[in-house]
Amino acid sequence: MSLVNFWYLLIAVLWIGYFFLEGFDFGVGILTKVLARDETNRRVLINTIGPVWDGNEVWVITAVGATFAAFPNWYATLLSGFYVPLLLVLLSLIVRNVAFEYRGKSDARHRPWWDWCIFLGSLLPPLLWGLVFGCMFSGTKIGDDMNFHGRMSDFLTTFDGLVGALAFLALFLTHGAVYTALKTRGPIRDSARRLAVPGALVSLVLVGVLLGRINGHWGGPLSWTVGVVPLVALLACAAVVRLGRDGWAFVLSGAAVATMVASMFIAMFPIVMPSSLDPQWSLTVHSAASSHYTLTVMSVVACVFTPLVLLYQGWTYWVFRKRIGVRNIPAAH
């Protein structure tokens, strides 16, 4: 495998890891306004992701940083062309992270404001990420100079972008509901299970439409095969949730997230950003890549530090693996 292909694979893995971990993170944040009926239940939900949400966000930083170093032309075209939605993602994450930190330090009068910040900061990123990935893989107005020549309003009129936004939102909400059922006990766990079943079925339809359009235009036998897996996983997830097998349900919802993103990256290879103006102007892994020396140095660093990060994050999840409920929430100050 060449270094260029290796780094395309690694960046795909980083995005898969980010959406797998941050997907249930966003879902739980949305559920704080959907499932939580009172302050105690809301604290239960927030505490399920309290030890891990900031570690999950490291994956997107690494993915974007790796794209900048390994494929600078891809990075430049992506961030300049999708400047507005990506800026909104950044602002949403900032507001959400501040809300997590300050919610417990504020009085009862201001706490509802922080709750809305958590909700909106969890709702907008899935919509925006789905919009970006749907538009990026369906084709954007890239010229022969590798620059974006469209308008920001183009994103809102692209069918694949809108379907991508809804598919990401529905899938992450389902992933979050399954994670809530896995990590909690009591009535809130039952409510999460009731929400997960219809969420999985809605996600199945939206993800199927999104992958069908992307694979129908760019895909091959491998991407089509991988693209069937999230549909089967979501159907099985709905059945397993009804049986009360929360662990297996989480594995299946996570597999749906991972294989959905994997199918998109496999379908596009070796293209990283197709041009809707002229296919010859599309960015490929070779036209967008850094020098061989840069990729070599980065490969050494990645092989040393990536296992360490995985071990540390895995240890964090193991330490905080137990369920929590209302009885685990101390009285508010």
Rounded to two decimals, the pTM is: 0.92
* Beta strands at 271-273 and 283-284: parallel, antiparallel or unpaired: antiparallel
Q: What is the dihedral of CA 212, 15, 275, 208, to 10 degrees?
A: 10
Length of the chain: 333
> What string of pLDDT tens digits covers the 333 residues of the chain?
788 999 999 999 999 999 999 999 999 999 998 887 788 888 888 888 888 888 888 899 989 999 999 999 899 988 888 888 999 999 999 999 999 888 877 777 778 899 999 999 999 999 999 999 988 887 788 888 877 877 777 777 778 889 999 999 999 999 999 999 999 988 889 999 999 999 999 999 999 999 999 998 888 899 999 999 999 999 999 999 988 899 999 999 999 999 999 999 999 989 888 888 778 888 888 888 888 888 999 899 888 888 888 898 888 888 888 877 766 666 665
Q: Which pLDDT does position 332 carry in this prediction?
A: 60
- HEC sequence for 23-71: HHHHHHHHHCCCCCCCHHHHHHHHHHHCCCHHHHCHHHHHHHHHHHHHC
Single-letter code of the amino acid located at 32: T
Instruction: Identify any residues that bridge with 142 across adjacent strands, giving them in sequence order.
Output: 148
Q: Which pLDDT does position 108 carry in this prediction?
A: 74
Q: Which pLDDT does position 129 carry in this prediction?
A: 95
Q: Which pLDDT does position 102 carry in this prediction?
A: 86
How far is Cα 23 from Cα 21, in angstroms, rounded to an integer?
5
